Amino acid sequence: MSQSSGPFPPALLAHLRTLYSDVCSPRSLFVPLLGAVLSSLNEPELILALFDDACDHLEVGVDKAIEVGNQEKIPDWVALAGQDVKDKRMFGKLLVAVRTREALLKSFPLVGFPLTISSLTALSTHLSKNHPDIWPLVERIEAAHPFPTAFEPLGEYGLAPHPVTNALNQQPLEPVSRGRILFNNIYGKVAGRVLESLRWGHPNLVDSALKLIYTPVLSDTRVLQDPLDSSLLCLALCFASDLPPQTKGHFKGAQNHSATPKQIYALLTSIRCIMEWKGVRLRMERMEFLGPVGGLNDMPSEEEGKPKL
């Protein structure tokens, strides 16, 4: 397991921020995705530092991000905060907190349950002590967002035999496996081949993946609403775990969900910077698997813009 490298060097944190064009937006994936990566490295204290840094920089972009919210899809759970949200900055902090906690929760099948427990417990303690303005709202929102046990029992390949209900608004959901849909969208035309590969590894791997991971966890869009968010989460954690086959698969999955070259580059480069700082050498550090992806040829080389720590 990775050893702690101490607090973030300011130069590294500043460099990571430059990689994300929307870093000042409360809807940015900067903290949720890198927070999950830090969780996989058993670095809960760095997750807290990343969260606080994001909150400190919300003043620059939060107003614009929320003003254009009228044209964006606002999550149902925002209504649960009600009149207790005093201003736009508080709303921005709340968005970052809830989205980060959801990403950490979704990451547990990929990083391991004990690490997820440590990270979420640390974040809960930090929010309750240092961000008391939003912590009661986080608790209220999450209490109304229970684990979707309505998906049990599941039929063949995660097919729900009966309609299930959205815990927030009690509206029936389609009685089909949203997990299988996400799986198919990630792997595209090779989805069947991937299932056969899982079955070859162990007969129960298919059911484990679809019924226990993809359907109830990864495909839940009540907080992280865009399926691309979950796709990028899988890509980030596979890359950080230095798993070439899975990384390549989820790289294609992110493309299938319309991830831009700049999004993928920012994500993987930020992970690589963190790993280099921690002294972890990745077999895929040069990211050759990206291939001739449109737009990546215009990106800076590995040495350009690297922070001096």
Domains in the chain: boundaries: 148-221
Helices vs strands, H then E, count in the chain: 15, 2
Within 10 Å of residue 198's Cβ, how many Cβ atoms? 17
Asked if the model's pLDDT at residue 39 lies above 80, the reply is yes
Say whether pLDDT at 231 is over 60. yes
Nearest residue to 265 via CA among 251, 277, 253, 279: 251
The residue among 83 and 17 whose pLDDT is bigger is: 17
> Which has more pLDDT, 75 or 274?
274
Give the mean pLDDT of 232-239.
Answer: 97
* Beta-sheet strands, E only, within 134-288: 164-165, 172-173
Residues of the chain with pLDDT > 90: what percent?
Answer: 57
Tell whether the model's pLDDT for residue 309 goes beyond 90.
no
Q: Percentages helix, strand, coil for the chain, rounded to the nearest 5?
A: 65, 0, 35
Residue with the larger pLDDT of the pair 301 and 253: 253
Q: What is the mean pLDDT of the chain?
A: 81
- Output the pLDDT for position 60: 45
**Tell me, what's the pLDDT at 3?**
53
Q: What is the pLDDT of residue 90?
A: 87
Per-residue model confidence as pLDDT tens digits over 77-134:
666 666 677 778 888 899 999 999 999 999 999 999 999 999 999 999 999 999 999 9
Average pLDDT over residues 252-267: 94
In one-letter notation, the amino acid at residue 245 is: P
The burial of 129, by beta-carbon neighbours within 10 Å (0-12 exposed, 13-18 middle, 19 or more buried), is given as exposed
Please, which pLDDT band fits residue 222 given cuts at 50, 70 and 90?
Answer: confident
Q: How confident is the model at residue 248 (pLDDT cuts 50, 70, 90)?
A: very high
Range of lowest pLDDT (63-72, 210-219, 287-296)? 63-72
pLDDT at 298 over 90: no
